[in-house]
Amino acid sequence: MSLADLQTPVAYSSASVADVVNDLKEAFGERCSTSQAVREQHGHTTTWLKNQAPDAVVFAESTEEVAQVVKLCAAHKVPVIAFGVGTSLEGHVNAPSGGVTIDLSRMNAVLEVNAEDLDCRVQAGVTRKQLNSYLRDSGLFFPIDPGADATIGGMAATRASGTNAVRYGTMKDVVLGLTVVTASGEVITTGGRARKSSAGYDLTRLMIGSEGTLGVITEITLKLFGQPEAISGGICSFPSIKSACDAVIMTIQCGLPVARIELLDPLQVRACNIYSKLDLAEEPTLLLEFHGSEAGVREQAETFAGISEEFGGSEFRWATKAEDRTALWQARHDSYWASFTLRPGAKGVATDVCVPISRLAECVTETRADLDREKLLATIVGHVGDGNFHVLVLVDEENAEEVATAEAFVGRLNSRAIDFGGTCTGEHGVGQGKMKYLRKEHGAAVDVMQSIKSILDPDNILNPGKIMPTA
């Protein structure tokens, strides 16, 4: 694997690391681990980047403990990597320069729920499914759904979104405020519970998506939403990617408030059929979900059926029963794992481009042609209401030529998306894997990002080797 080799790890003093680890063992006892298994588990990434384990892992239980670890690391200029549950896809939790990983998964308390205000405050290690279980009887829910049962802290750190973003936004839209430990170990809060504020620089949004490189997020105040009175959904296939995308564009233009609108390409449908034992037509397919009142949901569905017909869609197949809907969305969420049924033993190279939806059909079609030309096996799924789609390339990681072909493909895909006015990452983040595309996407703005990093983390101890090129 070569991507991770691109970054030059900064040399931190190994004597300092040893000192810090000794101090941490003294302070945290068994909650500071240096076992190889634990360290490697925390360098784990879901994708193809190689595992780079930290020197030690501390299981923190409070903001104060996180501050204590960061202060110690700051004093010795030792790297600090924040870790939730390890579902990130771009090597965010790798430790290319070693250092201390702070595992936040034990900070999993829901601290307050304010039902009247539709907000709550949680510790960073609460997962989205845990939060929604907690909220079940309140009539409220937390809508952001990246598929994996990620922690809220990790989702904030990577500016995550997922299938519901077309209706409910991304993490940047649903976070009201954060508690953050800065590079010097200070604890700050970046926002209160007001629904909106113009009081100074938006540190909340600056921290969201900063992937632990500007601070460690320990608590999050979130907007919640009322559970919809009615939910309906279904599935519909189209003669071509273009006709499916055109139906999506029309749906968005009409202002139809779809809660989810997902594209699966024929190969992805085949994989889902095998993995989830379904019998879907292996054609370009849209999965939809509508939220609203009973009448509102019916109206939305009728409007969509009209649009679908206009673009040659098959008859809309309803999943009105909750269990059918769950099965369908479970299959969608499992699509990442399903893809591997097409090539058991392969490694998956995840991608995450997002383009203006008017360019979506063109971008997906060109991308599929590129894959075919290069004889790469890959599935495509997309949060197409936002113009965001994922190609998962299945590669034999022992075959250097194939790996190089896949990497070159990923480079072309990212460039294509950027050239179309889009981004190389809609929701996964930069991590290690996307650093080399940042300059093409942002130009001189990268220098502004770099200067912010340099002032907020002058010794580059916060998750070094991610997002920003090491100086």
Binding positions for a copy of itself, 280-299, rule CB under 8 A: 293, 295-296, 299
Q: How far is the CB of 214 from a copy of itself (least distance, A)?
A: 7
Q: Is 7 in the site for a copy of itself (CB under 8 A)?
A: no
Judged by CB under 8 A, the residue of 29, 37, 137, 255 near a copy of itself is 255
Interaction with a copy of itself in 305-324: which residues (CB under 8 A)? none
CA distance 127 to 147: 12
Q: Is 335 in the site for a copy of itself (CB under 8 A)?
A: no
149: left (phi over 0), alpha (psi -120 to 50) or beta: beta
Stretch of residues binding a copy of itself (CB under 8 A), selected from 29-37, 341-349, 383-391, 405-413: 383-391
| Of 213 and 268, CB closest to a copy of itself | 213
CA distance 189 to 180: 6
Q: How far is the CB of 2 from a copy of itself (least distance, A)?
A: 21
Interaction with a copy of itself in 191-250: which residues (CB under 8 A)? 192-203, 205-206, 208-210, 214, 225-226, 228-229, 249
Query: What's the Rg (C-alpha) of the chain?
Result: 22
What angle do the packed helices 322-333 and 266-276 form, to 10 degrees?
A: 120
Q: How far is the CB of 282 from a copy of itself (least distance, A)?
A: 28
Residue from 102, 5, 87, 3 nearest 462 by CA: 102
Residue from 31, 95, 26 nearest 58 by CA: 31
Q: How far is the CB of 337 from a copy of itself (least distance, A)?
A: 22
Residue from 183, 192, 78 nearest 458 by CA: 183
Stretch of residues binding a copy of itself (CB under 8 A), selected from 15-23, 38-46, 163-171, 232-240: 163-171
| Of 10 and 363, CB closest to a copy of itself | 363
* Amino acid present at 455: I
Q: Is 425 in the site for a copy of itself (CB under 8 A)?
A: yes
The per-residue b/e assignment along 114-124, b for 16 or more CB within 10 angstroms, e otherwise, is: eeeebbbbbbb
445, two tokens? 């703005």
CA distance 154 to 144: 12
* Amino acid present at 118: L
Q: Is 11 buried (19+), middle (13-18) or exposed (0-12) by CB count in 10 A?
A: exposed
Judged by CB under 8 A, the residue of 79, 284, 426, 433 near a copy of itself is 426
Q: How far is the CB of 246 from a copy of itself (least distance, A)?
A: 10
Q: Is 252 in the site for a copy of itself (CB under 8 A)?
A: yes
| Of 326 and 358, CB closest to a copy of itself | 358
Q: How far is the CB of 48 from a copy of itself (least distance, A)?
A: 19
Interaction with a copy of itself in 108-137: which residues (CB under 8 A)? 114-119
Q: Is 445 in the site for a copy of itself (CB under 8 A)?
A: yes
Sort strands 140-141 and 353-354 into parallel, antiparallel or unpaired. unpaired
Identify the DSSP state of 8.
-
Judged by CB under 8 A, the residue of 430, 432, 462, 463 near a copy of itself is 430
Q: How far is the CB of 461 from a copy of itself (least distance, A)?
A: 16
| Of 311 and 437, CB closest to a copy of itself | 437
Q: Which helix (H) or strand (E) holds 28?
A: helix 14-28
Q: Is 31 in the site for a copy of itself (CB under 8 A)?
A: no
Q: Is 172 in the site for a copy of itself (CB under 8 A)?
A: yes
Q: Is 411 in the site for a copy of itself (CB under 8 A)?
A: no
Q: Is 160 in the site for a copy of itself (CB under 8 A)?
A: yes
Residue from 231, 220, 227 nearest 138 by CA: 227
Sort strands 347-350 and 317-318 into parallel, antiparallel or unpaired. unpaired
| Of 357 and 394, CB closest to a copy of itself | 357
Cα-to-chain-centroid distance, residue 91? 12
Q: Is 453 buried (19+), middle (13-18) or exposed (0-12) by CB count in 10 A?
A: buried
Judged by CB under 8 A, the residue of 374, 449, 469, 470 near a copy of itself is 449
Judged by CB under 8 A, the residue of 20, 67, 364, 467 near a copy of itself is 467
Identify the DSSP state of 471.
-
Judged by CB under 8 A, the residue of 65, 103, 386, 402 near a copy of itself is 386
| Of 38 and 452, CB closest to a copy of itself | 452
CA distance 360 to 247: 12
